[in-house]
Amino acid sequence: DTIYILGGHSLENNIRPPNLYRLKIDLPLGSPAVSCTVLPGGISVSSALVTQTGDKEFVIVGGYQYDNQKRLVCNTVTLEDNNIKIIERETPDWTPDIKHCKIWFGSDMSNGSILLGIPGDNRQLISDANYFYILRCGGEKEDKEEAAQICSQTSTEDPGDSTPFEDSEEFCFSAEANRFDDDDIDTYNEDDEEDESETGYWITCSANCDIDIN
């Protein structure tokens, strides 16, 4: 019944104020009641990632302090008795590639792990690759962070044709193993079509495809 909003990026003033808001939703008989409280102790950050390391403990990783300055420090967030506490924790031993790159991106992998990616143009050998790392944040049973490179992915596109990630652009991906049942198989629906000039074009998916691409 409680949502915390932390940090943010003001496009009008190009600043990242240390905001911390608490939205609380009460469900009495009748209409819901929503209250917003401004709390002290926020941090200046945007586009950060959050992973849960315990029942009431979370870790904030990544993000930006300024347009071209990454936020390399991490914070532990503890929620208890309707109170939130944010403290700075020991900085991970970032690799030189992560330290010197201008942009990074990633997603929470749950269980205290975060996937981090950096563009390959930070290395001189392969300029059209993305390098990925897993950051394991110590939780209740672990007390240290470890950043390990797990793989690299080479792109066949011209780097000049690719749009770099900006600090205000985020992405996340997740899927539950039992989310898709046999009854939920998607079927073609003509009403779902959009203007192909804006969204792309149709291609036949197999030799016996019976969809009219015209």
For the chain, the domain total comes to: 1
Question: What's the mean pLDDT in 131-154?
Answer: 61
Q: How far apart are CA 67 and CA 169, in angstroms?
A: 12
Listed range (58-62, 70-74, 80-84, 127-131) with the worst mean pLDDT: 127-131
Number of neighbours of residue 63 by Cβ within 10 angstroms: 25
213 falls within a domain: no
Question: Could you say which DSSP state residue 10 is in?
Answer: B
Q: What is the pLDDT of residue 169?
A: 39
Pick from 161, 156, 147: which is nearest to 126 by CA?
Answer: 156
194 falls within a domain: no
Per the annotation, does 151 bind a ligand? Answer: no
**Residue 169: domain span:** 2-174
192 falls within a domain: no
Confidence of residue 78 (pLDDT cuts 50, 70, 90): very high
Residue carrying structure tokens 């590639």: 97
107 falls within a domain: yes
Q: Are 9 and 167 in contact (CB under 8 A)?
A: yes
H helices of 12-155, in order, are: 96-100
Return the C-alpha torsion angle 108, 164, 70, 129, nearest 10.
Answer: 70
The C-alpha angle 187, 192, 198, rounded to 5 degrees, equals 125
Q: What is the pLDDT of residue 151?
A: 43
User: In the chain, pLDDT over 70 holds for what percent of residues?
Assistant: 61
Strands 64-66 and 69-70: antiparallel
Q: What is the pLDDT of residue 174?
A: 38
User: In this predicted model, what pLDDT tens digit does every residue of 18-77 receive, in sequence order?
Assistant: 889 999 888 877 788 889 999 988 888 888 899 999 999 999 998 888 887 889 999 999
Per the annotation, does 209 bind a ligand? Answer: yes
13, pLDDT greater than 90: no
Q: What is the pLDDT of residue 187?
A: 53
39 falls within a domain: yes
Question: What's the mean pLDDT in 196-210?
Answer: 50
Question: What's the mean pLDDT in 139-158?
Answer: 46
Which residue type sits at 20? L
User: In this predicted model, what pLDDT tens digit does every residue of 162-187 receive, in sequence order?
Assistant: 444 444 334 333 334 444 444 544 55
108 falls within a domain: yes
Q: What is the pLDDT of residue 32?
A: 83
32 falls within a domain: yes
43 falls within a domain: yes
Question: What's the mean pLDDT in 6-24?
Answer: 88
- pTM beyond 0.75: the answer is no
